[in-house]
Structure 1
């Protein structure tokens, strides 16, 4: 595809469990279709000072930086939002334009290619970004009038370029409006190509998923990846109960419901930014995706046990394990990045957890730092391709390759081999990823079990709260696809060491 975004999502292995720090945060708002073109403040009053930039100008700058400089979309967006004087509505619009445009990238280019005389790839990056966000608004945001989209785009083109560019932008967009009925994906394309364009995923990825899961499931994966991610929180059971916290939240007007995946989870359908609430500040909950909550449930640590979290930052799963243990025992939370150690400590401090010992080092070297057979539980939340969290980090679609999957699989295999001797006989090792790639998941576990006869699949303890959520069980693990429970794609395997 011409003019591809080449930016990267931030964080270890492109994973996103939904915590508010570290690798997480690429969330597109559920309110993106509200327009957000005005400059009203949160209480409805007019702003006394005009913002230094508009939502659309900010989005163009972010997308251009992602494409030209390889910037992380979430970090670049957050930086520019902090610098700008935007209303909450405009900040929401800018966020929707950035993540929505990246999510629908090759579909937007497919439509534009017919109307840009020299081709999309020949445009300057900022012009390409401007046209993309404009077409995104016309097709996917139903409350922004088309004439307003064109007017804003032309005015922005004049400010950023010159009369000739603004004329071209005006002509392209007006021609697209006049021929709106032709902006559709042909039903006569080969299946993989149709899915690729209709749901905006790389063709190689769609073909791979069709081979792995079949046409119907592959299309469902792609469709689910374009859904806005749900907001879910995990109750800190050392401080309160799910029922009590849900009642408190409902009393303030929030719309909440119990998670069907995790007994500790709450889905927040409406209620504002959860990270700004007193419940969050006081440690009553953490923000985490439902699928990610199942990892600590699989580890099932018990009070007084010695637990190793090999790749722990930013500490969401570590904290969940500590809560499961009622903060009684010892958890070694290791991460390779020294600056992320503080993220783990900050989580523990906010949640009032004292049993977490955050350390820094390469997980491949853990065997040199701790005695063999010294841990009752081990969690290897492995670096991975991140193909399960595309709805949170749409950049992943355009930056990953088959070679990346092969490279990360080699690292995963070595990590498993290195940490396996650290588990006590009778203990539990949980291997988890936020990808749906079999070579990183069930095939990885099958290969490990074949080479390590001292290990075998443990009795499953990963189960949903509701029978309406069907999870695929393979090789002692559970594969969650994005469409299964409208949560992140995850793989969780529970293994036990049966001998020395």
Structure 2
């Protein structure tokens, strides 16, 4: 079963359970000799099983009864795979989900427990018509079990958005992520990219607001095989991330600093908006991640970006920049659909640690901005400790700074009554993001 997609998914889940990052583990899994359909199935099984593990564990506890406490961890991973297929994959026949899971048990040292796998999965099928998942009565725990999140994330969202919108957000973050492109206007027009995609059989749709944005509708396969990749016509970037650079609104000839640049999506977008005229300093403290920034610059044909490994908290650029972007490291609660295991890795403690780091970056970056210059703070999270609270604390401790109204299109379309931007996925069909523009 070495090249069977379910076996490969099982091995990947084992590696993730040992501490591996889902994205890295899956990337290695997809290097196996699998057909494209099998790669897609393995990807769905790995990401889906990790993303839905709390719901799947609740089902195993409910259906397995006394057996669930004595199940070896690796057997539970096999049950995750089987139940995920039965509950969430409509294109997999129930018999196939059961039989392949039983075979996984037999082939991976659990032949004596194959009957347990068969029994639990068939019991789920019998109860499927009545939606067999038993849910807690507490509203927070009900959403957390039903949609598979830690309680604390649901609590944070419920406090901001209310229970109904939190359920919409939980559901949205469990969908497979879409792939968005940002067209490089220095190399191609959006019409040119659309035509090339259509000719190759790839359907795309435009953003109603963002001028360089396309969304892939029916793509399957390697991104680098799409027309225009090698020519630098476009790069992959979510629509919300594209909005950040429009919020910065850099002008040709200016000096712009991207304090946390890797992997380079926003640095390259800033350079494109400037017509590759002026300078964009792209900093990141991890040299290996900066290689990706330079690769993107080279492929897109951009020359105004200066890439340098540095911790922005220790950099001195006093009053030198027209515009500064702090796209801060964050908990990523706005992009949980893109990183299946992130919801299980983050905790309230890691959020507080990140908030401390964000404040340090923001304080130092503020010293780089020229008088009347612009400082933009952005995150891809939906946690007030990293967003609104961060800005309010900065303004309290920096009385010479103010929240600057965002008046430039297209960013102005998303401004809240508070003066900052908070992109809500269930409203805008984009990643969850926060942006604030500051000036002094």
Contact 1:462–1:478 (CA under 8 A) maintained in structure 2: no
Who is 1:55 aligned against?
5
Deviation at 1:475, TM superposition (A): 4.5
Q: How does 1:432-447 map to 2 (within 5 A)?
A: 432-447=378-393
Is 1:212 matched with 2:160?
yes
C-alpha distance after superposition, 1:348-379 (max 9, x if no partner): 00000001100001111112xx3x10011101
Who is 2:59 aligned against?
111
Who is 1:491 aligned against?
434
Who is 1:306 aligned against?
255
Contact 2:246–2:411 (CA under 8 A) maintained in structure 1: no
Who is 1:64 aligned against?
14
Two-structure CA RMSD over aligned residues (Å): 1.9
| Counterparts of 1:403 and 1:118, CA distance in 2 | 34
Q: How does 1:194-343 map to 2 (within 5 A)?
A: 194-273=142-221, 274-343=223-292
Who is 2:303 aligned against?
354
Pick from 79, 97, 101 the counterpart of residue 28 of structure 2: 79
Q: How does 1:469-480 map to 2 (within 5 A)?
A: 471=414, 473=416, 475-480=418-423
Pick from 412, 423, 427 the counterpart of residue 358 of structure 2: 412
| Counterparts of 1:452 and 1:128, CA distance in 2 | 52
| Counterparts of 2:66 and 2:230, CA distance in 1 | 53
Which secondary structure state, in structure 2, belongs to the residue aligned with residue 280 of structure 1? coil
More RCO (CA 8 Å, sep 6+): 1
C-alpha distance after superposition, 1:213-254 (max 9, x if no partner): 211121111011011211110000111222332233223332
Pick from 384, 391, 400 the counterpart of residue 454 of structure 1: 400
Pick from 312, 321, 334 the counterpart of residue 388 of structure 1: 334
Deviation at 1:182, TM superposition (A): 4.5
Deviation at 1:115, TM superposition (A): 2.0
Contact 1:260–1:464 (CA under 8 A) maintained in structure 2: no
Contact 1:378–1:428 (CA under 8 A) maintained in structure 2: yes
Contact 1:313–1:340 (CA under 8 A) maintained in structure 2: yes
| Counterparts of 1:478 and 1:466, CA distance in 2 | 9
Is 1:95 matched with 2:43?
yes
Which secondary structure state, in structure 2, belongs to the residue aligned with residue 494 of structure 1? strand
Which secondary structure state, in structure 1, belongs to the residue aligned with residue 30 of structure 2? helix
Residues 122 and 494 (structure 1), Cα distance of their counterparts in 2 relative to 1, 3 Å cut? farther
C-alpha distance after superposition, 1:99-141 (max 9, x if no partner): 1111111111111112224454542222111100100000110
| Counterparts of 1:116 and 1:187, CA distance in 2 | 16
Deviation at 1:257, TM superposition (A): 1.3
| Counterparts of 1:118 and 1:332, CA distance in 2 | 60
Q: TM-score, normalised by structure 1?
A: 0.84
C-alpha distance after superposition, 1:322-360 (max 9, x if no partner): 000111111110000011221111100000000110000
Contact 2:197–2:226 (CA under 8 A) maintained in structure 1: no
Which sections of structure 2, spanning at least 5 residues, go unmatched? none
Structure 1 runs (4+) greater than 3 angstroms displaced: 117-122, 181-188, 271-274, 461-467
Which secondary structure state, in structure 2, belongs to the residue aligned with residue 473 of structure 1? coil
C-alpha distance after superposition, 1:244-286 (max 9, x if no partner): 3223322333211111342210111124443322311110000
Which secondary structure state, in structure 2, belongs to the residue aligned with residue 301 of structure 1? coil
Which sections of structure 1, spanning at least 5 residues, go unmatched? 1-50
| Counterparts of 2:163 and 2:252, CA distance in 1 | 46
Contact 1:108–1:132 (CA under 8 A) maintained in structure 2: yes
| Counterparts of 1:465 and 1:258, CA distance in 2 | 16
C-alpha distance after superposition, 1:400-438 (max 9, x if no partner): 111111111111111111110110011111100000111
| Counterparts of 1:253 and 1:57, CA distance in 2 | 32
| Counterparts of 2:83 and 2:439, CA distance in 1 | 52
| Counterparts of 2:69 and 2:372, CA distance in 1 | 58
Residues 177 and 315 (structure 1), Cα distance of their counterparts in 2 relative to 1, 3 Å cut? same
Contact 1:478–1:493 (CA under 8 A) maintained in structure 2: yes
